[in-house]
Structure 1
Amino acid sequence: MPMSVYRSEKDGAWESIERRFEGMPLIVFSKTYCPYSRRAKALLASYNLSPAATIVEVDLRDDGDLIKHILTRLTGRGTFPNAILNGVSIGGSDDLHSLHAQGRLQEIIENAGIHTDGG
């Protein structure tokens, strides 16, 4: 289902955001100053992903409030980071680290068509 189904009138810019990230299987919506975002990005970097995760630093964007609003509506998660794998949120930092500790994160990422070299 296209994400535009979830949009309200004030979310009109979502289509341009959605198109911008099309073809990027793993997107991490992050904030540069957030320790949880840094922790999640470091974990994902340890997997040497190919293609690499697309990092969107929401606090550096003019449409950061809009992105937060839309992510909250789409994923139920209003905090950062928010890792989106093929259009589905797989969680924030604690969720990613939990999946990693359970030995499931690499499999989930690889099942999405992303090559990993570690973790």
Structure 2
Amino acid sequence: MGIGVSDMKTSIQFYENQFGFHYEQGFSLADEEIVFIKNGEARIELIYAKGTSPSSASQHVCLEVKSLNEWKRHISLVPVEGPFKLNNGWETIFYQGPDGETIELLQLNENRGT
């Protein structure tokens, strides 16, 4: 998932502090600064393009977690939606990032559904 950001340092710190991501690597390409952050198998590409504003309307990151309750205790954010229990037994909660992007945490319970 790539996310357009308005301030690279703020976004890196946000994902490090709230979701345990760490800087993996970064580079410049044309007029863009690109940074990859990683947490386990999950990787997010943060993109800063000078002179443009990030479009967060359709940006959505979904992170599979083992325990929503554990994450809720760790995160110092107020959910924008949820938590919800889905028909298949999965549980989800939504937060908002510094550029308005949606961050969904999804717990897949034993009954993983179809």
Global fold match (TM > 0.5): no
Task: Please state which structure has a larger fraction of its residues in helix.
Answer: 1
Task: Please state which structure has a larger fraction of its residues in strand.
Answer: 2
Structure number with greater Rg is 2
Higher relative contact order (CA 8 A, sep 6+): 1
Q: TM-score, normalised by structure 1?
A: 0.30
Q: TM-score, normalised by structure 2?
A: 0.30
